[in-house]
Every structure is written in structure tokens, then in C-alpha cells.
Amino acid sequence: MYNTIKTPNRSQAEYESIIEMPSHFSIEAAAEQAARELYGASRYTGKGQWRRFTPEGASSQSGYIGLLGDSTAVVGDWRETQRLVVLVDSDDDDITRSEKRQQARMEAQRQRDKWEAERLAKQAETARQAHQWWASAKPADPLHPYLVKKQLRPYGLRQRGNALLVPLFVDGELINLERIFPDGAKRPLPGGRVKGAASLVGRIAGAERVLVAEGWATGAALYASTGCPVVIARNAANLEPVARRLRQRLPEDVTLTIAADDDRFTEGNPGMNKARIASLAIGGKLLTPTFCGRCELCTDFADVALCRKGAA
């Protein structure tokens, strides 16, 4: 369907490949076709220059299409370093086509640099908002519906309106907030950084063992049952980057353990798989929940704690 032309070594552009599509394609159709064949994309959101999609096997819309003109687009996945330029083919001679390829790479890199600058500016703006919200928020109500349902103490959370606020840090700097609503829905502030960001239940200073878990409720339940500080990565995909950063900062004699969610009812069990990958990446230990015989819905340590209390 398309031809792939590798970028020469020492190219000025960071883009690794040119994807050339037949000339009867519009640039929109060409980019979507490339996304389907390369990333398994099936649905696209957004209009105009910027579109998003969920790559095959991904849990979020990390795939993107950027339309740069009538014959050029970029396609990629934010989780990967590879970025591709889609170029609609033409009947030009080889010299002209070579020039167009180089122009396409350069334009794609300029656009990528622009997007990166905009993304970083938005992250900085969101971090400022997080500081303002956190400073003005009140201590979390112990009777908040989510805390009551999970039978957990607030452990330093704050509250704004009906939303619990979970602070997210990178290297000790507050960069975002995760909001937990009464129905259990969880959302970070839009546009803020989330990869590598984490929260903490307990105190790491002086600890001999530190746990890393996915969600806040799981972390709080583990802290309540073990007394060990728990670093909360928010989701399975974030376990490895959080664990790597933590391992670099902790003394060597501190044991770092990944506490897995067992997504046993989800195809591929991403919780267990990502936890194993994270534990191997840091040479750490892996802790998995043990379910009783009557557990038919439990998947994590917070569920297990409720089940043992007869409240699940």
C-alpha cells in the first residue's frame, strides 16, 4: 500500500521514515490509512489539523495524526520515540521527489517542535493551577462518599467541592492533581503532566521498605495494612517510570516492591504484566493480591481489604 523510505544518517530531522502513499489518496485518507496499518487505529477523534486515536493494545489515545498541508502529515504514538512522515506521492522526477521528502521532514520537525513547546507551556500552566487549587483546598472530609465506600482514611488528601484532590509530584515538585469524584471517577487536571508523576501515602524518610502501587485506594489500603509508605503511580503504564525514578533516588538498602493489581477479568491482565515489567526493570520484588474463594469481583489490594471486612 505504501513505500517506506528510511531517513539517511545524520538527517537534520528526527523522523525515522517517510511513508509514501499513492497520489489518489487525500492527505487525510493517507494519514488514516497509515495509522490503521501501522498502529491498528480504527476510530479517530478531533477535527482539523490534530487528531487522536487509540493504538492497538493501548488503553488511551496516545496515537496522533497531524496534518501539515495538502500532501504531508505526521503519524505516531506519544509512548514511542518513532515518528513517521506521511507524504502523498506525485509524478515528479526523482530529484524533485527527493527535495519534497526532505522538505516534508523539515516541516514535520518544525511542527513537532511547535507542538512540544505548546505541550510544555500547557503543562506549566496546569502546574500553576494545581498549586493554586491545592493551597486553597480544605482537608478532605472523612465522610466523602468515595472514602466511605472504600473504608479508608483521607491520609492527607484535600478536597475542592465534591472532588478529592490527590497531589501528583515529580522529583518533589507538585505538577498536577488527580480528582476523585463521589462515584469513583478519576481525572487529572487537563493538559498537565502525568507520566512519571506520583503521589505518596506515608513517609519515605527512614523507611526500610517502600511499595509502589497503581491507584490511590490501593495504596491507602496497603499503607493501612502494612505501615509501609506507598508511592502511587495512578495506572499500570506509569509503574515502570515511577519505579525507575524512585530506585534512582532511594538508598540501595531500601527494598522497593511493586504491588500489582490483578486484572484477572481483563484480557492480557495489564495490571500484572506491567507490574512484572516494572519489578524486573528495577530489580525489585513483586507483591500480588491473594483472593479468598468467594472473591468474584476483586482485582486489587483495596478490594481484598474490603472483602476481608465483609464489605466487598
Q: What would the mean pLDDT of 139-157 be, rounded to a whole number?
A: 97
Is a pLDDT exceeding 50 seen at residue 123? yes
What integer pLDDT is reported at residue 265 of this predicted model? 87
Exposed/middle/buried for 124, CB within 10 Å: 0-12, 13-18, 19+?
middle
Is a pLDDT exceeding 50 seen at residue 262? yes
Is a pLDDT exceeding 60 seen at residue 3? no
- Alpha-carbon distance of 131 to 235, in angstroms, equals 22
What integer pLDDT is reported at residue 57 of this predicted model? 78
- Alpha-carbon distance of 142 to 208, in angstroms, equals 29
Is a pLDDT exceeding 70 seen at residue 205? yes
Per mean pLDDT, which range of 153-167, 179-193, 294-308 is the poorest? 294-308
Is a pLDDT exceeding 50 seen at residue 145? yes
- Alpha-carbon distance of 248 to 230, in angstroms, equals 16
| Among 18-22, 79-83, 269-273, 289-293, the range of highest mean pLDDT | 269-273
Is a pLDDT exceeding 70 seen at residue 13? no
pTM as predicted? 0.76
> Is the four-CA dihedral 145, 151, 153, 154 of positive or negative sign?
negative
Is a pLDDT exceeding 80 seen at residue 85? no
Over the stretch 218-234, which tens digit does the pLDDT of each residue have? Answer: 999 999 999 999 999 99
DSSP conformation letters of 151-169: T---TT-EEETTEEEEEEE
What integer pLDDT is reported at residue 6 of this predicted model? 36
> Binning pLDDT at 50, 70 and 90, where does residue 7 land?
very low
User: Do residues 35 and 66 touch, judged by C-beta distance below 8 A?
Assistant: no
Over the stretch 162-197, which tens digit does the pLDDT of each residue have? Answer: 999 999 999 999 999 999 999 999 999 999 999 899
Q: Which of 296, 301, 299, 225 is nearest to 258 (CA)?
A: 301
